[in-house]
Structure 1
Amino acid sequence: MSSTTIARIGWLDSLRGVAILLVVLLHAGEALRVAVGPTAGVDQVNLFLEPFRMPVLMFLSGMLLPQSVAKSGREYFAGKISMVAWPYVLWSVIILAASGDLRPATLAQVFFLSPTYLWYLWFILIFYMVAYPLRRVPPLMMSFVLLAVSLVLPDASRSETMVFLAGFFFFGAWCTQHVRLVERTISKPWVLVLAAAAAVTVGVLNAAGRDVLYRGEYAWGVVGALGVVCWVFPLLRAGRATAALEFIGRYSIVFYVAHLGPIMITLALADAVGLAGEWFMLPLLLLVGIGIPLGLAWLYSTRDHLSVNLLFELPVLKRRPRDRAPHPPRSRAL
């Protein structure tokens, strides 16, 4: 396996798909907790996984960076504006309008603060904008420097979170450039055992209330989790389940921007009729939180509906082939 082919391997999309589904689970669980109180088991699962979800997504995006920066500057920036900046700004406006907070001051924050749950897109856009002019700087050096800087930034601040996640973005780029070394390392049993132990330790600490989230001093736990999933997911056999996860991963941006609205609307309707506390609410919220974005993603994948396409990209800047082609493109979302 070479660094020129790793970004086209289905396990990357499968892993991204799982990470996005866990984001949906997080928001469904949080919505229920706010509405009716703690949900048995779900809150603890979300807390255990919290230190890993976003770093995994950043790492996977970083793995695609080497092939992206190999393009011309015009093609590179056009792609990021079309596929990241455009949906970020558009959906930020949609979310603010739906929440009744479409004020000039709030709109201005979209460009320098990210006032909605779409902060991940804002972060990744900044990382991409910085990565191209720094493309000749060794990504491992960038990763170490960023994680070191995160140690001295204010705890739980937006700046600490951004710098910490940027460290894993560039770490992903380094792993793509050194695939064989990474494979040899994580294939050793003692490395896997240590990696799993590190990940479990950090997850348990977070679930127990220890402040470990996006903290540079606990980056070893995230590295451990990455080692485990990068060993496990390539071993998954092709089938319907992995094909579904790959589809979700390829269109992760659709699920990311469009899942919370259906969840909140469904919960509000259920609360209005006194059903918010029923046992079936979490499955129902997951159903709408996954099902509605799934329908949008399918429409988007056909490229037949311009109005749907415009929700997630600017085709005039970034034209892409249809997924009905014999070899559909992978890892297209972020």
Structure 2
Amino acid sequence: MPETFPRPRAAGDARGAAGRTAWVDAAKGLCIVLVVLHHAVMFLEPQGLVPGPLSMLNTALASLRMPLFFLASGLFLATALARPWRTLLHRRVALFGWLYLLWTTAQFGLFALLPAGIAPSIATQDTTALLLSPLVPAPSMWFLYALAVFSVAARLLRPVPAPALLAVTALLSALVGAGTIEIASFGWEFMARYAFFFVLGWHGRRLVERLAATASLPRVAVAGVVAAGAAAGAVLLGLHEVPGVAFVLNLLAVTGGVLVAAELVRWRIGRVVIALGRRTLPIYLTNVLVIGVVTTLLAGLQLPAPAQYVMVALVTALAVVAALLLHRALLRARCGWLYDLPGRWAARPATG
């Protein structure tokens, strides 16, 4: 990537690698940082290293990080669906399936070596759960599972009119988000909740790009205030179990996220976010492993609340940097099969 990134005339005009718009890479960069932050909070909170307000903020950000990630992932799906079945199965099912099984097993092995209590229960599996992971999405790696499943489902559902798919997935999201429909599997539940945003990215790309093209600091500020106000109101009034409320909060958060990402490409810091957005895969695959090791080293440490904010930020940044450095080192060591299909089966698609 060049040292500088030119300021676009409109947010939707800037094009990144592989024909992707720069703001989409920025959106993915934001999402992956929020995902790593979530994992850092998840591991450090049981150790007493996360202040209450930051924990609450992390919970609130659930309305943004994965819905926006799914939206961004669906934006360029049409091109993949236009290719033959063999190509789709190779590049989106075999690839994501391989990485899912490989890194789910690696995570299981590392967590088995960590001291008891380091890895939170929501992130761990027993042997039975590991064996069932081809059917029940594993914690931390479930997004890869979802991308493979959604790609096949989208190819099969291409004849279905877009309004019908959007309506059905919106209803599913509303009911699952409110707890009206309960799904025992963590991964399957989130897939049901966020399928709408994948479909929206797929069928509503022009609408989303028009939204991105309107980005400005005032619009970002208004969108942020509206989303935060709606979330606070839902909490204060206890409305989260009302069908549709969580879905509306997701829509508001994603709208704000698109505007933020599109505005970021106009600023110098946007270069960093865009660069991360083009490298989400290696960060996603290994950040939990890094955080698990770091948490082991920090166990028993006591810090005042102000220092805890700094600690969470440092662990998040360290996990991102370490994941990227590990990726570079493993590629140099000819271990590219850890990030792609092995040998001659390598897909090398434009993932991330």
How does the TM-score come out when normalised to structure 1?
0.80
Partner in structure 2 of residue 324 of structure 1: none
CA–CA separation in structure 1 for the residues paired with 2:92 and 2:241: 28
Partner in structure 2 of residue 287 of structure 1: 317
- 1:1-334 equivalences in 2 (<5 Å): 8-36=20-48, 38-100=50-112, 105-153=128-176, 154-155=179-180, 157=183, 158=185, 159-178=188-207, 182=211, 195-196=223-224, 198-205=226-233, 210=238, 212=240, 216-237=244-265, 241-271=269-299, 274-275=300-301, 277=303, 279=307, 281-299=311-329, 304-307=332-335, 309-314=336-341, 316-320=344-348, 332-333=351-352
Which secondary structure does the structure 1 equivalent of 2:74 belong to? helix
Unaligned runs of 5+ in 1: 322-330
CA–CA separation in structure 1 for the residues paired with 2:94 and 2:173: 30
Q: Is this contact kept in 2: 1:51–1:202, CA < 8 A?
A: no
CA–CA separation in structure 2 for the residues paired with 1:267 and 1:63: 36
Partner in structure 1 of residue 115 of structure 2: none
Which secondary structure does the structure 1 equivalent of 2:138 belong to? coil
CA–CA separation in structure 2 for the residues paired with 1:14 and 1:213: 32
Which secondary structure does the structure 1 equivalent of 2:139 belong to? coil
CA–CA separation in structure 2 for the residues paired with 1:169 and 1:41: 30
Structure 1 residues 233-277: Cα deviation after superposition (integer angstroms, max 9, x where no partner)? 223346663232222212212111211111121121222xx4353
Deviation at 1:32, TM superposition (A): 1.8
CA–CA separation in structure 1 for the residues paired with 2:262 and 2:217: 16
Q: Is this contact kept in 1: 2:93–2:151, CA < 8 A?
A: no
How does the TM-score come out when normalised to structure 2?
0.76
CA–CA separation in structure 2 for the residues paired with 1:37 and 1:253: 27
The 10-residue stretch of structure 1 (51-60 or 28-37) with the greater mean CA deviation from structure 2: 28-37
CA–CA separation in structure 2 for the residues paired with 1:93 and 1:137: 37
CA–CA separation in structure 2 for the residues paired with 1:231 and 1:50: 17
Q: How many residues get paired?
A: 317
Deviation at 1:207, TM superposition (A): 6.4
Percent identity at matched positions?
21
Q: Is this contact kept in 2: 1:80–1:128, CA < 8 A?
A: yes
The structure-2 alpha-carbon separation of the partners of 1:97 and 1:52, relative to structure 1 and needing over 3 Å to count, comes to same
Deviation at 1:133, TM superposition (A): 1.4
Q: Which amino acid aligns with 1:275?
A: L
Q: Which amino acid aligns with 1:285?
A: V
Q: Which amino acid aligns with 1:53?
A: R
Q: Is this contact kept in 2: 1:24–1:259, CA < 8 A?
A: yes
